[in-house]
Amino acid sequence: MNRHALSTRLWHWANAVCLVVLFLSGLNISNAHPWLYWGHWGFAPEQAWLHLPRFPGWMTIPGHYSLAGARLWHLFVAWPFAVGLLLFMLAALVNGHFRRDLALRRGEWRWQAIRADVAEHLRGHFAREGAKFNLLQKLAYGLVIFLALPLMILTGLAMSPGMDANWPVLVDLFGGRQSARSLHFLTAWGLAGFLLLHLVLVLLSGPGRQVRDMITGGRV
């Protein structure tokens, strides 16, 4: 049996490309108005809860300030990102990936087990007997797949005035369009943090085998 299902591998790499392009084009969009607000409205620095830095050209798509160009990239790649997530979720439901590997077991919620997991992690031991993921990994992947990624889609849709007219519940869910925009930004950086941690942990746990298995499928 493969360590990673084909659907998981395809999604992993497609999603990685999508997230990077979405993040870098998003930073270009952020440069258009680098202030964040809560609630329905906000348009001036003195109303902002966060003043953002200007993100330099080497980390934005396009590489120079272009709100129109960045929006084209962002709104284009949002499609494979959203459709890909949906297809991956369906596949992982059908092939049992979620139930087998991500669902939390009762024993894992015990305080002692959590402490032991954290201690093992800090010592650099990531493998867990008899299961693919330990508790921290399940929590991290679970939060990303079921919370952060869907939140990016929903907060993104909530910023669209055309969507808002048809689905006002989107705006209400987040307490206003500007709140949705703030959450979109925060979640994006949360995902960037996850990506960084993910890369560091891959580097610490035999990067050659990890990358190869995510391409070829690997053996259990």
Nearer to other proteins, 25 or 187 (CB): 25
Cα–Cα distance measured from residue 141 to residue 129, given in angstroms and rounded to the nearest whole number: 19
| Residue 127 vs 204, nearer CB to other proteins | 204
Bridging pattern class, strands 50-51 and 35-36:
antiparallel
Asked whether position 150 contacts other proteins by CB under 8 A, the answer is no
Residue from 3, 10, 14, 33 touching other proteins (CB under 8 A): that is 33
Contacts of 12 (CB under 8 A, 6+ apart): 4, 214
Task: Tell me how far, at minimum, the Cβ of 123 lies from other proteins, in Å.
Answer: 17
Q: What are phi and psi of 54, to 5 degrees?
A: -85, 125
**Measured between alpha carbons, how far is residue 40 from residues 26, 47, 133, 175 in Å?**
21, 12, 41, 7
CA-CA distance, 37 to 41, in Å (whole number)? 7
Greatest pairwise CA separation for the chain in angstroms: 58
3-state secondary structure of 2: strand
Q: Which stretch binds other proteins (CB under 8 A): 62-70, 92-100, 102-110, 125-133?
A: 62-70
Say whether 35 sits in a helix, a strand or coil: strand
Residue 93 CB, nearest approach to other proteins (Å) = 23
60 touching other proteins, by CB under 8 A: yes
Instruction: By CB under 8 A, name the one of 2, 13, 41, 90 that touches other proteins.
Output: 41
What angle in degrees, to the nearest 10, is found between the helix axes of 177-204 and 149-158?
A: 160
Interface with other proteins (CB under 8 A), residue from 1, 68, 122, 220: 68
- Using the contact rule CB under 8 A, the part of the chain among 6-14, 64-72, 104-112, 139-147 near other proteins is 64-72
Q: According to CB under 8 A, which one of 13, 79, 146, 189 is a site residue for other proteins?
A: 79
* Position 69 contacts other proteins (CB under 8 A): yes
Residues in contact with other proteins by CB under 8 A are 20-21, 24-25, 29-30, 32-33, 35, 37, 40-44, 57-63, 66-69, 71-73, 75-76, 79, 159-168, 171, 177-178, 181, 203-204, 207
